[in-house]
Amino acid sequence: MPKHIYRFIPNFSDSTLAAMQLEGLKQTVKRAFASPQYQALFAQVGLTPDDIQSLDDLQKLPFTDVEDLRRGYPFPLLCVPQKDVVRIHASSGTTGKRKILAYTQKDTETFALQMARCFELAGLTNEDRLQAAVGYGLWTAGAGFQAGSEKLGMLTIPVGPGNLELHLQLLQDLKATCFGATASMALLLAEEVDRCGLRDKIALKSMICGSETRSQKMRETIEEKLGLEASYDIAGMTEMYGPGTAIDCKYHEGLHYWADLFIIEIIDPQTLKPVPQGEIGEMVVTSLRKEAVPLIRYRTHDLSRILKKRCSCGLNMPMHDKILGRSDDMIIYRGVNLYPGQFAAVIGQFPELAGEYQIELSRDEHAIDHLLLTVERAQGLSQDNDINLATRLEHKLHQALLARVDVQITNYANLPRTFSKSKRVIDKR
């Protein structure tokens, strides 16, 4: 096992982690009883704090969902007096009303800690400089990147999203070594640096990408065009402080998550029962240290799985897979459950293809469903080989998904690029 060299990342044994989780769970349930909203939820299942005696008792707790946050607006599930709240953040609200989450002083410190741990695991030190293209303001990303970066001692350049020109100027002037952005923004930057021939004028060594699923292809394109040594995928959500719940280390075998700060369960989104270990399902989180808004079995609607293997880096923090899509985005097509991440994984096996893709579902006059996958040809390749390529991809997809789909190849950069989460599924049924 490599020497443990981290300032902020602990390396607990399995038994210590389990003991910390049980203690954190008991405290969290006790704390939650301060909230009338939680009291009502617990009353429905007849639960008292004394019912939590082991980690298995987690199953006795009720689920919470985004509706619980909306219902308690503007201080949902608040478990401390309002005078103890020092900050709020709000989600971008991709669906419905905005969610507001409250933080105590201690919560903001834990938020900074989880981000500092992520930067550390990505190999950054106080010698590094971070330029942040993530959203500042009500959003959690900017505040989290800033606080975690400063905690680690990095010079932090808070530019925010968009404004490519300013980013390019500052990258040349201030020589940031790491860039924090959504995958879409990172791709835009990489393409612009490539187009303007700026690669030798900047000093970027690594990239931290958050907020949306990034295919292997997208990762390679970003790294190659910017001349990076490595890039990392950071996970997180407003409900769990913000970004920084998990990140991959230099071995990229999965995303290490902070098991002393929260418990992750994977459930079947239909039956709500835990899936067998290692299988894909919806991630459900229970916080262990949150004060203002502790989360109890909160349904994230994100699809992933817990990886069974231990990482080559030797760190004893469990790993989950990349976020493979939203449980709400799960496509039911000809009786098979599919999710966008599965398509990305197959596309990634073809060097002749770029990373962008779009899925269109339709229903014909005989009530038969059709799925058309549009995928971009890799940059610089001619279209002569498109028919052959589409046939091979259709075959591989059929093997991987157990469903027949149609493939259409389009020119590089033909599909929409956005600053925000890309919309990949169009359902016309």
**Least spacing, CB of residue 278 vs Zn ion, in Å:** 18
Tell how many helices (H) and how many strands (E) occur in the chain. 10, 20
Helix 183-196 / helix 164-174 crossing angle, nearest 10 deg: 70
DSSP reduced 3-state for 256:
strand
User: Among the candidate windows 33-41, 169-177, 191-199, 313-321, which touches Zn ion by CB under 5 A?
Assistant: 313-321
**Least spacing, CB of residue 254 vs Zn ion, in Å:** 8
Binding test (CB under 5 A) with Zn ion, winner from 101, 311, 338, 405: 311
Region 78-137 residues binding Zn ion, contact defined as CB under 5 A: none
**Least spacing, CB of residue 19 vs Zn ion, in Å:** 23
Q: Which is nearer to Zn ion, 121 or 188 (CB)?
A: 121
- CB within 8 A of 321, min separation 6: which ones? 254, 255, 280, 304, 305, 306, 307
Q: Is 313 in the site for Zn ion (CB under 5 A)?
A: yes
Q: Which is nearer to Zn ion, 121 or 134 (CB)?
A: 121
Q: Which is nearer to Zn ion, 155 or 313 (CB)?
A: 313
For 274, half-sphere exposure in the C-beta direction (CA atoms, 13 angstrom radius) is 12
Q: Which is nearer to Zn ion, 226 or 234 (CB)?
A: 234
DSSP reduced 3-state for 266:
strand
Q: Is 18 in the site for Zn ion (CB under 5 A)?
A: no
**Least spacing, CB of residue 401 vs Zn ion, in Å:** 29
**Least spacing, CB of residue 258 vs Zn ion, in Å:** 13
Region 219-258 residues binding Zn ion, contact defined as CB under 5 A: 249, 251
Q: Which amino acid is residue 205, in one-letter code?
A: K
Check if the beta carbon of residue 226 is closer than 8 Å to that of residue 198: no
Find, among 128, 123, 99, the residue nearest to 242 by Cα: 99
**Least spacing, CB of residue 253 vs Zn ion, in Å:** 6
How distant, in Å, are the alpha carbons of 255, 375, 395, 399 from that of 402?
27, 19, 10, 6
Check if the beta carbon of residue 195 is closer than 8 Å to that of residue 205: no
For residue 271, give the DSSP letter. T
User: Among the candidate windows 30-38, 73-81, 122-130, 311-319, which touches Zn ion by CB under 5 A?
Assistant: 311-319
**Least spacing, CB of residue 99 vs Zn ion, in Å:** 31
**Least spacing, CB of residue 250 vs Zn ion, in Å:** 7
User: Among the candidate windows 303-311, 335-343, 389-397, 405-413, which touches Zn ion by CB under 5 A?
Assistant: 303-311
User: Among the candidate windows 32-40, 90-98, 310-318, 409-417, which touches Zn ion by CB under 5 A?
Assistant: 310-318
Q: Which is nearer to Zn ion, 42 or 119 (CB)?
A: 119
**Least spacing, CB of residue 252 vs Zn ion, in Å:** 8
Region 260-289 residues binding Zn ion, contact defined as CB under 5 A: none
**N-terminal to C-terminal alpha carbon distance within the chain:** 53
Q: Which is nearer to Zn ion, 89 or 305 (CB)?
A: 305
User: Among the candidate windows 52-60, 67-75, 146-154, 308-316, which touches Zn ion by CB under 5 A?
Assistant: 308-316
Q: Which is nearer to Zn ion, 123 or 158 (CB)?
A: 123
What is the per-residue DSSP string for 159-173? --SS-HHHHHHHHHH
**Least spacing, CB of residue 312 vs Zn ion, in Å:** 6
Using CA atoms of 155, 227, 224, 179 in order, give the dihedral in degrees to the nearest 10: 10
The tokens of 165 are what? 């020109």
Q: How many residues bind Zn ion (CB under 5 A)?
A: 4
* Separation of alpha carbons 66 and 68, rounded Å: 5
Output phi, psi for 163, to 5 deg.
50, 60
**Least spacing, CB of residue 230 vs Zn ion, in Å:** 13
Give strand ranges (E) for 238-279: 242-248, 255-257, 262-267
User: Among the candidate windows 148-156, 198-206, 309-317, 366-374, which touches Zn ion by CB under 5 A?
Assistant: 309-317
The tokens of 303 are what? 């699809």
Q: Which is nearer to Zn ion, 313 or 381 (CB)?
A: 313
Q: Which is nearer to Zn ion, 79 or 247 (CB)?
A: 247
Cβ of 11: how many Cβ atoms within 10 Å? 14
Q: Which is nearer to Zn ion, 311 or 375 (CB)?
A: 311
Q: Which amino acid is residue 327, in one-letter code?
A: S
Strand arrangement of the beta sheet that strand 306-307 belongs to: 155-158, 129-132, 178-182, 206-210, 230-237, 242-248, 255-257, 319-320, 306-307
Q: Which is nearer to Zn ion, 250 or 404 (CB)?
A: 250
Interface residues with Zn ion (CB under 5 A)?
Answer: 249, 251, 311, 313
